[in-house]
Amino acid sequence: MSEPAVDTKELDRYECRACGYIYEPEKGDDRRNVEPGTLFSKLPINWRCPVCGANKKAFANVGPIGQVSGFTENIGYGFGVNKLTPNQKNVLIFGALALGFLFFISLYGLQ
């Protein structure tokens, strides 16, 4: 029997819940000599987050690459703006202008 094909489900990325580092199996972890293609489940038991040193238990499965978590949120945000009434949009635009003006004034005040 040859080795079974790589289960794509196992190419899930894992995010460190302590610092947000994401382990990507396709890339491995060159800082700790983990070769690209190493599944998270195949990492040594003593492997730790290269950023903050958290152990494997601190990692959460965030799904395979391509499912960027922020992406769906951005779509939701876009829909949210589109649902606003014209009046609410005016408030948003005016608010943004006021903020820009305040920012300009604060810069001017620094000089």
DSSP secondary structure letter of residue 45: T
DSSP secondary structure letter of residue 35: P
Residues 2-41 that bind Zn ion (CB under 5 A): 16, 18-19, 21
Q: Is there a contact between 25 and 10 (Cβ–Cβ < 8 Å)?
A: yes
* Cβ proximity to Zn ion, 45 vs 110, nearer residue: 45
Q: Does 51 bind Zn ion (CB under 5 A)?
A: yes
Helix (H) or strand (E) holding 13: strand 13-16
Q: Does 99 bind Zn ion (CB under 5 A)?
A: no
Q: Is there a contact between 69 and 13 (Cβ–Cβ < 8 Å)?
A: no
In the bound complex, what is the minimum distance in angstroms from residue 16's beta carbon to Zn ion?
Answer: 3
Stretch that binds Zn ion, among 1-9, 46-54, 79-87, 91-99 (CB under 5 A): 46-54
DSSP secondary structure letter of residue 43: S
In the bound complex, what is the minimum distance in angstroms from residue 52's beta carbon to Zn ion?
Answer: 3
Q: Which spans of this chain sit near Zn ion (rule: CB under 5 A)?
A: 16, 18-19, 21, 49, 51-52, 54
